[in-house]
């Protein structure tokens, strides 16, 4: 249906955005967040389509992990900006940290 097409296209566009716009940490985090939100919306509409209640816990669990991921990403962003002076991903090297 058109609803599934919109979810798949949102996921695909977010994945392409993550693949092509990897210069700043903020843009990578926004693309990751939009991927998680498209998965959340797709899984939240699944019980409505199937008229069942067995899948209702999965979207809440994904939303919880999404909030933890966003908080961790912002903490990494603040820490890297303080230590390296910018949020460019090519400045971040695990061997230098």
pLDDT digits over 27-76, tens only?
888 898 899 999 888 888 877 777 777 767 787 888 888 889 889 988 98
Whether the predicted pLDDT of 81 surpasses 60: yes
pLDDT of residue 59: 79
Count of CB atoms situated within 10 Å of the CB of 23: 12
In CATH, the architecture of 2-91 is Orthogonal Bundle (1.10)
Whole-model pTM: value is 0.78
Whether the predicted pLDDT of 82 surpasses 80: yes
pLDDT of residue 16: 94
Query: CA-CA-CA-CA torsion for 95, 27, 31, 91, nearest 10 degrees?
Result: -10
Instruction: Characterize 52-67 residue by residue with b for buried, 16 or more Cβ atoms within 10 angstroms of its Cβ, and e for exposed.
Output: eeeeeeebeebeeebe
Count of CB atoms situated within 10 Å of the CB of 76: 14
């Amino acid at each position: 249906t058109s609803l599934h097409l919109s979810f798949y296209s949102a996921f695909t566009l977010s994945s392409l955005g993550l693949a092509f716009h990897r210069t700043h940490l903020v843009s990578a985090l926004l693309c990751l967040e939009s991927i998680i939100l498209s998965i959340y919306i797709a899984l939240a509409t699944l019980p409505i389509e199937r008229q069942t209640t067995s899948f209702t816990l999965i979207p809440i669990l994904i939303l919880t992990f999404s909030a933890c991921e966003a908080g961790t990403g912002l903490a990494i962003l603040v820490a890297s900006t303080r230590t390296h002076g910018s949020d460019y991903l090519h400045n971040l090297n695990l061997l230098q940290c």
